[in-house]
Structure 1
Amino acid sequence: MTDVIAEHLDHLRRSRYSEATLRERERILRSVPGDPLALDRETTQAWWESRAELHDGKPRAASSLSQEASHLRRFCRWAMQQGLTERNAADWLPSVRQTKPAVSPVPEADLYRLMQDAPEDMRRAIALAAMAGLRSSEIAAVRWSDLDPGNGVLWVRLGKGSKGRSVPLSSGLLATLGDPGEGRIIGRRTTGKALSLAIARYMRSRGVDYTAHKLRARYATRFLAATGDLKAAADALGHADLSSISRYVVASGDTMRRGAEAAGRIG
């Protein structure tokens, strides 16, 4: 029997989807009982109910549920395009209401504490996240040869969706990274997930209760506060659309006051 899930993954691989996306798509699709092309309403809804809780009985986050529904929906859409099925089984799933939490970037004082006396590889990893906005997977892959100190630019070759981009670097970040060497900038081979966990452990050990992603949020909020340019921020951070970046806009008190004064004038 043909493994339609494997065929789907091969299609995504040829379309240059990241391996992380492929692994997650396969994990979700393999959890669907029976033939994913023969799903009926009852089977689909029973599968969905089984996804509501984690193994320890705690409710699964709305964001995770929404992502799982998206994986099934996109698989079924592909199957319809290939003429393998006549409907999208994910249409039987209920919509998932998500509330986006307020952005909480790592505070400057905490970032300063993290950088002080940090091991060299950790200091560079934190700097690339907080001062260049790189994802953990990008930090794990970036090499010294990707750095152009003369022009103050870093080339991210393995960005999300296997899309490369150039990231401008400040003189402060270049000084923090130090003299160029050989191989990976953080000095060792690791995965993005392992690096993210390592950064989080180090942050907790220094009394900073934030995740690695909050370092990237720090870059986004400061970039936007300084420029107000959503398109430039989206390009620097590797976001595909502006809606993903707009949540990092945090208005300062001065900005709010100027807006109020402008709106309070007639003519």
Structure 2
Amino acid sequence: MERYTGDRLTQARALAGLSDDSLRVKAVTAARDKDAALLWDLTLACLSSETSAGVRLSPHTLRAYKKGVEVLIDHAMSNAWNLLHPGRRQPGLYVGSLMALGLKPATVQARIAAASALYRALRWAGATDSDPFADVKRPRDATRGVVKNPPYRADFVQAMLAEADVQEQVLLLLLTHAGLRIAEALAVEWSHVDLTRKRLLVAHGKGDKARVVPLSARLREALAALRAETAGTGRLFSIKAYSSAYERLQRLALKCGREHEFRGFHAGRKYAGTQLYAAVKDFTRVASFLGHEQVDTTRRYVELPEDDLEAVVEAFQ
């Protein structure tokens, strides 16, 4: 992770260190030739040096941006776009073409975010003043995320834990008990773990915000077992990449005979949020636990029981 950040900084400096004229010429040439590789380099340099997240943008986010830039360039080539001066209606038609492909609204939103990042980079390089996606309408999904991708069920989590090795147990419990994002879980170091005080420091959460989360008894037990198997220094996991962690848990689900129930990492985080809300009935506290800035975001993570008002309504006078 540290080496990767350094490489990104080096790339950003290589472009940002050019004179204004040289950078502008490079960007104009890349846009004219629709050079996807160079346009991505410009976007990455701008993201690394000109955004609040900077070089701490997660690999997952960067992959989504890169894919979005490539998709836009392909579309521009197929539809004879002038990238520096696109027609007023072309961005809307681009979004329409994405929707026509049957992409989910969330995927289309990610593609628009990537396109906006590319144009921010072109403006940063002095190649254009255009911001063609500023007023484009983003599609919205009427189905709540917690309905499309609900929390894992308790029996599935328990089945996975029963078959998991110690490292897999800790990873699962960081998701389902501590509510960590996968990037946060893979970045945990032993120095962040305080078993005596029963808490964990999430040193670099989303937006580089730190928070402290409590450790459940089962998670503390798994952490103690993992520490006994390792040197207890550095990172908790030998797993570093998102894809490696996904494959590891996917294989575990297959081992349990429940591979059809495995839906990635976020369903585990939603499990933690739903469990906590059931206990405290307070979205603000759950938002703090999950590291959400907005409580409205937390509402999309918590599955409410269908009969949670039944007893109250029963007593109406």
Residue deviations 1:192-230 (CA, integer Å, cap 9, x gap): 332133213322331331223212111110011101121
Counterpart in the other structure of 1:72: 115
The Cα of 1:91 is off from its aligned counterpart by 4.6
Alignment of 1:214-229 (within 5 A): 214-229=267-282
Q: Deviations over 1:214-250 (max 9, x none)?
A: 1211111001110112122112112221111112333
TM-score normalized with structure 1 length: 0.81
Retained in 2: the 8 A contact 1:13–1:22?
no
Does 1:29 pair with 2:30? no
User: Within 5 Å, which residues of 2 pair with 1:123-202?
Assistant: 123-179=169-225, 180=227, 181-186=232-237, 188-202=238-252
Matches within 5 A, 1:3-22: 3=27, 4-9=42-47, 10-12=49-51, 15=54, 17-20=56-59, 21-22=61-62
CA 1:184–1:39 in structure 2 vs 1: closer, same or farther (change >3 Å)?
Answer: same
Counterpart residue type for residue 44 of structure 1: P
My pick for the range that moved more, 163-172 or 188-197, is 188-197
Which structure dedicates a bigger proportion of its chain to helix?
A: 2
Change (3 A) 1:151 1:74: same
**TM-score, structure 2 normalization:** 0.70
Q: Is the 8 A contact 1:73 1:88 kept in 2?
A: yes
Report % sequence identity: 23
1:242 has 2:292 as partner: no
Q: Distance in 1 between the 2:172 and 2:195 partners?
A: 19
The farther-off stretch of 202-211 and 10-19 is 10-19
> In the comparison of the two structures, how many residue pairs are matched?
259
Residue 100 (str. 1) matches residue 144 (str. 2): yes
Structure 1 stretches of 5 or more lacking a match?
none
Q: For 2:160 and 2:44, how far apart are their aligned partners in 1?
A: 43
Q: 1: CA distance between counterparts of 2:104 and 2:288?
A: 29
1:207 and 2:257 matched? yes
* Farther off after superposition, 201-210 or 120-129: 201-210
